[in-house]
Amino acid sequence: MHLDHVGIALEDAKEGADLFRRLFGLPLALERTVPDQGVKVVKLSSGESYCEFLEPLSPDTPVGRFLAKRGGGLHHVCFAVPDIRAAIADLVGKGAAMIDREPRTGAAGLPIAFLQPSSTAGILVELVERK
């Protein structure tokens, strides 16, 4: 299991990504609007991992509510797993609570699932299946 990406919530994803591109020289990997998740996503590559900038499409979305409550900054961390259903079963077996007991499709078109932050020291943790 390796760290796939960190998710950063901001009012302006492009502005945050442009700052990280300028400061750290990270190339653009993906820019996409995901209406069913209510976000615009801008992803930068950093070796095997990514920085994922998230901008809410409206205040009444998960990321919009996060920004209103906690302000901009680190939103979640994501681990890559080879088999997401096996990883979910393993975590549930260890007592972790899942937001997604069934995987859904993320912005990059890969299966994803989130854990309840109450199970993970208050940090929102995402899994992505990456072979």
Residues that bind Zn ion (CB under 5 A): 7, 52, 78, 126
Q: How buried is 53 (Cβ within 10 angstroms: 0-12 exposed, 13-18 middle, 19+ buried)?
A: buried
Side-by-side strand order, sheet with 104-105? 28-34, 39-46, 49-56, 2-9, 73-81, 124-129, 111-114, 104-105
Question: Toward Zn ion, which CB reaches closer, 93 or 109?
Answer: 109
Minimum Å gap between C-beta 50 and Zn ion is 8
Minimum Å gap between C-beta 126 and Zn ion is 5
Rounded-to-integer distance, Cα 56 and Cα 25, Å: 25
Question: Toward Zn ion, which CB reaches closer, 96 or 110?
Answer: 110
Question: Toward Zn ion, which CB reaches closer, 55 or 126?
Answer: 126
Which residue is closest to Zn ion by CB? 7
User: 39, 57 in Cβ contact below 8 A?
Assistant: yes
Minimum Å gap between C-beta 58 and Zn ion is 19
Minimum Å gap between C-beta 6 and Zn ion is 8
User: 91, 79 in Cβ contact below 8 A?
Assistant: no
Question: Toward Zn ion, which CB reaches closer, 9 or 78?
Answer: 78
Helix (H, G, I), strand (E, B) or coil at 118: helix
